[in-house]
């Protein structure tokens, strides 16, 4: 099959022919239909986060099941699925207490002595996030997929695989925003826009979008933002406090920077909660004003929206089909796998929401 192979940091990827194994007892072979190009992929491509190479990047994807292993009963060939990097074992402490997104059990991956899932010339290739969706096929553990209805467009479904689940989930699962609350979201990329959409669905009374790009702020209004703040036009903390009379109940950082994490905490009202979703680079420290903790202000992280993805993703599909989840506006353009390097360059400019690779 063809795949974009990541070999060197910040060096263009080539579309190469690689080999893929047959499904093991609990594995599923998927024909990739669509894959979103996400900032998480870029963080590894540009070396912000370390990764083992060579690797096939890509993790925000949807496709159609082609083969299943002997012990797989959840899906069958022909089923439409969304993949998720929150592969779960189902029996560790995290899984049994309802925190499946935190599962790190190695049994969902093949062992060092097993034939690799993907390879080239007999040498193993890594699958980013146990998926590797910048490829024509994916071979994954059965607990890496959620089955969805066949009439859901797969290019839209792919976005649910990461950005939407991360953003909406941070609102409804991690922070548990309640109706009538006030919300600020810093960063209006794919995840931030999904946060805004999630806050609107949750019934927030004010949803304030914060960014430095006017076009993205305008787009945020389509997703449910009631107010916008351009961080270039003054201190965003003071602008949010002025709009709300003292700060928001909930803030979300969807960029991954020290300064914006600190801003998210700074724009809280007393008793408020800041949730950091963005991937802050390793080694970067976040500084907070100590006395603020006396007023019960809180800061927390969120990984993949604290999801229960086999429950959440079919529900998000229904919300899209009902017109409540605005996936159409997330798609900036459809591209080919051979356009992957240009897509990464566009991500770095911060001007787009999502490019989606189509394989058919």
Name the class of domain 167-302. alpha beta
Of 21, 43, 89, 332, catalytic: 43
For residue range 293-329, list pLDDT tens digits in order: 999 999 999 999 999 999 999 999 999 999 999 999 9
- For residue 353, what pLDDT band results from cuts at 50, 70 and 90? confident
Q: Are 138 and 359 in contact (CB under 8 A)?
A: no
DSSP alpha helices (H): ranges in the chain?
39-45, 93-96, 154-159, 165-169, 190-202, 214-222, 236-244, 258-266, 309-321, 340-349
Measured CA to CA, the distance from residue 141 to residue 147 in angstroms comes to 14
- For residue 355, what pLDDT band results from cuts at 50, 70 and 90? very high
Q: Which of 224, 223, 216, 74 lies closest to 140, judged by CA?
A: 74
Measured CA to CA, the distance from residue 304 to residue 54 in angstroms comes to 25
**Known catalytic membership, residue 43:** yes
Residues ≥6 apart with Cβ < 8 Å to 12 = 341
Superfamily of domain 2-148+327-358: Medium-chain alcohol dehydrogenases, catalytic domain (3.90.180.10)
Measured CA to CA, the distance from residue 157 to residue 134 in angstroms comes to 16
Of 84, 103, 162, 195, catalytic: 162
pLDDT at position 350 over 90: no
Is the Cα torsion angle 102, 107, 109, 113 positive or negative in sign?
positive
What local confidence, expressed as pLDDT, does residue 282 receive?
A: 92
Residue with tokens 């925003």: 177
Of 38, 84, 103, 195, catalytic: 38
2 SS3 class: strand
**Known catalytic membership, residue 162:** yes
Of 39, 40, 302, 306, catalytic: 40
Of 59, 137, 141, 326, catalytic: 59
pLDDT at position 106 over 80: yes
pTM of the model: 0.95
**Known catalytic membership, residue 59:** yes
What local confidence, expressed as pLDDT, does residue 349 receive?
A: 80
Measured CA to CA, the distance from residue 116 to residue 248 in angstroms comes to 49
Parallel, antiparallel or unpaired: strands 137-141 and 118-120: unpaired
Domain regions of the chain by residue span: 2-148+327-358, 167-302
- Residue 19, Cβ neighbours under 10 Å: how many? 16
- For residue 352, what pLDDT band results from cuts at 50, 70 and 90? confident
């Amino acid at each position: 099959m063809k795949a974009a192979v990541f070999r060197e940091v910040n060096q263009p990827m080539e579309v190469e022919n690689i080999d893929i194994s047959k499904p093991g007892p609990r594995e599923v072979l998927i024909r990739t239909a669509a894959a979103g190009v996400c900032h998480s992929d870029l963080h590894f491509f540009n070396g912000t986060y370390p990764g083992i190479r060579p690797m096939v990047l890509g993790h925000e994807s949807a496709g159609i099941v082609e083969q299943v292993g002997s012990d797989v009963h959840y899906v069958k060939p022909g089923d439409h699925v969304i993949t998720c990097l929150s592969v779960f074992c189902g029996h560790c402490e995290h899984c049994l207490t309802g925190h499946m997104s935190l599962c790190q059990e190695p049994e969902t991956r093949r062992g060092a002595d097993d034939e690799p899932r993907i390879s080239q010339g007999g040498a193993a290739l890594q699958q980013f996030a146990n998926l590797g969706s910048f490829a024509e096929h994916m071979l994954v553990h059965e607990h890496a997929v959620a089955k969805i209805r066949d009439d859901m467009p797969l290019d839209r479904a792919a976005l649910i695989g990461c950005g939407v689940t991360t953003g909406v989930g941070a609102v409804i699962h991690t922070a548990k925003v309640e109706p009538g609350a006030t919300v600020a979201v810093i960063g209006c990329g794919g995840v931030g826009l999904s946060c805004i959409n999630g806050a609107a669905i949750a019934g927030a009374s004010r949803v304030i979008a914060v960014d430095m790009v006017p076009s993205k702020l305008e787009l945020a209004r389509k997703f449910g933002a009631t107010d916008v703040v351009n961080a270039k036009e003054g201190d965003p903390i003071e602008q949010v406090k002025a709009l709300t009379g003292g700060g928001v109940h909930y803030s979300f950082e969807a960029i991954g920077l020290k300064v914006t994490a600190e801003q998210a905490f700074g724009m809280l009202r007393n008793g408020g909660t800041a949730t950091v979703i963005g991937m802050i680079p390793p080694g970067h420290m976040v500084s907070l004003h100590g006395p603020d903790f006396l007023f019960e202000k809180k800061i927390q992280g969120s990984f993949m929206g604290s999801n229960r993805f086999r429950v959440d993703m079919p529900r998000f599909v229904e919300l899209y089909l009902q017109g409540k989840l605005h996936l159409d506006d997330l798609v900036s353009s459809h591209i080919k796998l051979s356009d992957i390097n240009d897509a990464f360059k566009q991500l770095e400019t911060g001007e787009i929401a999502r490019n989606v690779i189509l394989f058919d």
